[in-house]
């Protein structure tokens, strides 16, 4: 499959290590402030103060607050992609695929539940075009990953249906996580567990569970 074009952000990525470190400090400061005050409460002056850089440096790398938030969101998605590669690399046996997918979805859910940035971005994902594009690209990444690992495990799902089935399951898991993080812990956990069981069943990985 041809990969979707990379999402472009109007943010400067420096080449020198000192400048890259300054940029990372700005991102870390912004993330910490969002955890305390939310995205609406994020102020570029506060970011500069916490990162201990001039306000001009913040705008040099991130021209607007929206660009800064988009970069943080992209970085978090990259973290989830790393989890997916780690959990599913070289997996071949169906029973191992099931346990690794369960672990992956649970880890992403737990991180989203404790991450103010992700909670607030998901609440307004349709309102920001760049965030929406990142989300679509993220979905494509995980669908490709699921298709690849199921092929290695010699899935019984017909090739003509495999990608579509992975798309449906990925959308279900994605939507469930976004809903579950808004619920009380016990209810959210139960919803995610049910979603994982249904998804694995529909991927032919948990035959004892009822499918759609």
At 129 the pLDDT is 80
At 208 the pLDDT is 41
At 125 the pLDDT is 63
Domain enclosing residue 37, as ranges: 17-63
**170: how many CB neighbours lie within 10 A of its CB?**
22
Residue 174's Cβ-side half-sphere holds a number of Cα atoms within 13 Å equal to 19
Eight-state DSSP code of residue 6 = P
Tell whether 179 and 143 lie within a shared domain.
yes
Q: Residue 119: inside a domain, yes or no?
A: yes
Pull the structure tokens for residue 155: 């899935």
At 6 the pLDDT is 52
Q: Regarding predicted confidence, which is higher, 178 or 7?
A: 178
Per the structure, the count of domains in the chain is: 2
For the chain, counts of helices (H) and of strands (E): 9, 0
Q: Residue 194: inside a domain, yes or no?
A: yes
**123: how many CB neighbours lie within 10 A of its CB?**
13
Q: Residue 8: inside a domain, yes or no?
A: no
At 92 the pLDDT is 86
**Burial class of 97 by CB neighbour count within 10 A (0 to 12, 13 to 18, 19+):** buried
At 126 the pLDDT is 58
Asked whether 57 and 18 are in contact (CB, 8 A), the reply is no
Tell whether 33 and 76 lie within a shared domain.
no
Tell whether 86 and 155 lie within a shared domain.
yes
Checking if the pLDDT of 200 tops 70, the result is yes
Tell whether 156 and 195 lie within a shared domain.
yes
Q: What is the pLDDT of residues 51-109, one digit of tens each?
A: 999 999 999 999 999 999 999 999 999 999 999 999 898 888 888 999 999 999 999 99
Checking if the pLDDT of 9 tops 80, the result is no
Checking if the pLDDT of 43 tops 50, the result is yes
Q: Residue 163: inside a domain, yes or no?
A: yes
Place of tokens 């916490």: 50
Nearest to 101 by CA among 41, 148, 34: 148
Tell whether 107 and 162 lie within a shared domain.
yes
Q: Residue 212: inside a domain, yes or no?
A: no
Q: Residue 7: inside a domain, yes or no?
A: no
At 108 the pLDDT is 97
At 76 the pLDDT is 94
Global pTM?
A: 0.84
CATH of the domain at 105: 1.10.357
Compute CA distances 115 → 44, 85, 156, 198, 200, whole Å.
Answer: 20, 21, 37, 26, 26
Checking if the pLDDT of 7 tops 60, the result is no
Q: Residue 9: inside a domain, yes or no?
A: no
Across 157-167, average pLDDT: 96
Q: What is the pLDDT of residues 165-182, one digit of tens each?
A: 999 999 999 999 999 999
Pull the structure tokens for residue 40: 């609406």
The pLDDT mean for the chain works out to: 88
CATH of the domain at 53: 1.10.10.60
Checking if the pLDDT of 1 tops 80, the result is no
Q: What is the pLDDT of residues 101-139, one digit of tens each?
A: 999 999 999 999 999 999 999 887 656 788 888 899 999
Tell whether 148 and 48 lie within a shared domain.
no
Q: Residue 176: inside a domain, yes or no?
A: yes
Tell whether 78 and 47 lie within a shared domain.
no
Which pLDDT band holds residue 12 (cuts at 50, 70, 90)?
Answer: low
């Amino acid at each position: 499959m041809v990969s979707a074009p990379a999402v472009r952000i109007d943010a400067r990525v420096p080449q020198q290590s000192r400048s890259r470190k300054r940029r990372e400090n700005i991102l870390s400061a912004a993330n910490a402030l969002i955890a305390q005050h939310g995205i609406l409460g994020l102020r570029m002056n506060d970011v500069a103060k916490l990162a201990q850089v001039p306000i001009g440096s913040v705008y040099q790398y991130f021209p607007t607050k929206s660009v800064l938030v988009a970069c943080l969101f992209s970085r978090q998605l990259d973290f989830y992609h790393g989890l997916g590669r780690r959990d599913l690399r070289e997996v071949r046996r169906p029973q191992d695929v099931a346990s690794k997918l369960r672990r992956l979805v649970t880890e992403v859910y737990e991180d989203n539940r404790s991450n103010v940035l992700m909670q607030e971005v998901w609440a307004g994902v349709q309102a920001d075009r760049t965030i929406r594009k990142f989300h679509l690209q993220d979905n494509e990444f995980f669908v490709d990953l699921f298709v690849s690992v199921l092929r290695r495990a010699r899935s019984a799902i017909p090739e003509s249906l495999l990608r579509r089935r992975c798309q449906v399951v990925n959308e279900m898991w994605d939507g469930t996580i976004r809903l579950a993080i808004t619920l009380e812990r016990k209810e959210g956990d139960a919803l995610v567990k049910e979603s994982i069981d249904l998804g694995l069943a529909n991927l032919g990985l948990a035959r004892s569970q009822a499918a759609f």
